[in-house]
Amino acid sequence: MRVEIVDWQSKDEIFLVRNTVFTAEQGIDTNLDFDGQDEQSVHALVYDNDEPVATGRMLGDGHIGRIAVLISQRGKGLGTTIMKALVNEARRRNFARVYLGAQVHALDFYEKLGFESIGERYDEVGIEHQTMQLSLN
């Protein structure tokens, strides 16, 4: 397994993972997932034998999202690998903080990485979410 920080030129690999997880598995409309912000984002991709198996992105303001791990690869720590790669990239870019909208079922995962909940829960694409942040100072 290897993780790489990539840009939108890796869109085919990013699309494969996100479409499998968000559209096929969770029933999220592809047009909602691919919201026009990917070209300006930095992405992390995890490869297993040169096959993309996990991804995530970070917008220019430190917003992390679109964390997706293929079902066959879950339980191997790849979500943590993606998050650490994106947080390290944010530190490299001297961001003061990173933040995200966590699906409520994943709150414990993000809390273990040091994220704290802020604000009220909200609905996004029919799924309950919670804003969380991590200070990088």
Which architecture, in CATH terms, is 2-135?
3-Layer(aba) Sandwich (3.40)
- Structure tokens given for 60: 């220019």
Cα Rg of the chain (Å, integer): 14
Using one digit for the tens of pLDDT, what is the confidence trace for 90-103?
A: 999 999 999 999 98
Per-residue confidence (pLDDT) for residue 126, from 0 to 100: 85
Comparing CA positions, the residue from 41, 67, 35 lying closest to residue 132 is 67
Comparing CA positions, the residue from 44, 36, 93 lying closest to residue 64 is 44
What average pLDDT does the structure give for the chain? Answer: 94
Domain regions of the chain by residue span: 2-135
Average of per-residue pLDDT across 17-22: 95
Average of per-residue pLDDT across 66-95: 96
Q: Is 136 helix (H, G, I), strand (E, B) or coil?
A: coil
Supply the DSSP string of 49-69, one letter for each residue.
TTEEEEEEEE-TTSEEEEEEE
Global confidence as pTM: 0.91
Per-residue confidence (pLDDT) for residue 69, from 0 to 100: 96
| Single-letter amino acid, residue 127 | I
